[in-house]
Amino acid sequence: MKFRVVACATFMAISLVACGSAGTTTPAPSASAVPIQTPTPSAATATATPIATPSAASTPTASVAASAAACAVERQTGLLPSDRMTNVEILAQPGRDVVRFSFGPRSLEPKGPARGTLDVAAPPFTGGASGLPIDLHGEHALQVVFTGMSLQNDVGQLAYDGPREFTVADATRSLRHLVLYDESEGQLGWYVGYDGPSCPTLTRHGNTVELALDF
């Protein structure tokens, strides 16, 4: 099944345009990862550390079961670097698309342990607070949820003030759509739409957490 979207912008060759943002950057061909937007400096470690040991495979709904059969999605959950997500960027690597979430210093009064979870997302897709429908590009759907989050910094400013929606139009890539569907009551929820038999993993690298789609 293919979920379609009325996107906020059009993107070529995995160029990324944020909703309401005018700047784009086209990556030069390279054998290494090429950020689609300027990355936030992070203390990434040389070796990836899984955010958690995957549990039993999640069961897709009937609407996505046929397309998801190529690579079973395993639910993963674990502690985050901090309770403040500050940046999101998309990286194009050979045979892999990466969504990198960056985290800043912990808040002075954290709400509790900050956790991240990766799981299958089932339609219908809706906004967490508004309940309005969300059309999602892609043959498959995931959700990445961060809980125990501080959505503002210690002076009342948004901890994350970046784009709420990203779209990829390059047919050679797996990632299609990334939408922030919930940012309320200490929770940040992202829908991820992608094509093909990619195997998703959620991995922590120092002060970042990466969702990787290997295809």
Q: What is the CATH number of the domain that holds 98?
A: 2.60.40.3500
Q: Does any domain span residue 22?
A: no
- Domain contains 102: yes
C-alpha pair distances (Å), 41 with each of 58, 65, 151: 34, 38, 20
Using DSSP, state whether 64 is helix, strand or coil: helix
The pLDDT score that the predictor gives to residue 112 is: 87
Residue 97 lies in a domain: yes
Predicted confidence at residue 171, as pLDDT, reads 93
Domain assignment of residue 14, yes or no: no
Residue 142 falls inside a structural domain: yes
β-bridge mates for residue 152, sequence order: 158
- Position 45 scores a pLDDT of 32
- Show the CA angle centred on residue 135, arms to residues 145 and 67, nearest 5°: 75
Identify whether 196 is part of a domain.
yes
**Residue 65 — φ and ψ, nearest 5°?**
-60, -45
Taking phi over 0 as left and psi of -120 to 50 as alpha, with beta for the rest, 148 belongs to left
- Residue 54's contacts (CB-CB under 8 Å, 6 or more residues apart) are 74, 75, 76
Report pLDDT for 158.
95
Based on the structure, what is the number of domains in the chain? 1
Examine residue 77 and state whether it is found in any structural domain, yes or no: yes
Confidence (pLDDT) at 50: 52
Q: Domain limits at 76?
A: 46-214
Q: Cα–Cα distance between 143 and 137 in angstroms, integer?
A: 13
CA distance 142 to 179: 11
Average pLDDT by stretches of 10, the chain with 215 residues: 35 35 36 37 39 39 40 93 97 97 94 95 93 96 97 92 96 97 96 96 97 96
8 found inside a domain: no
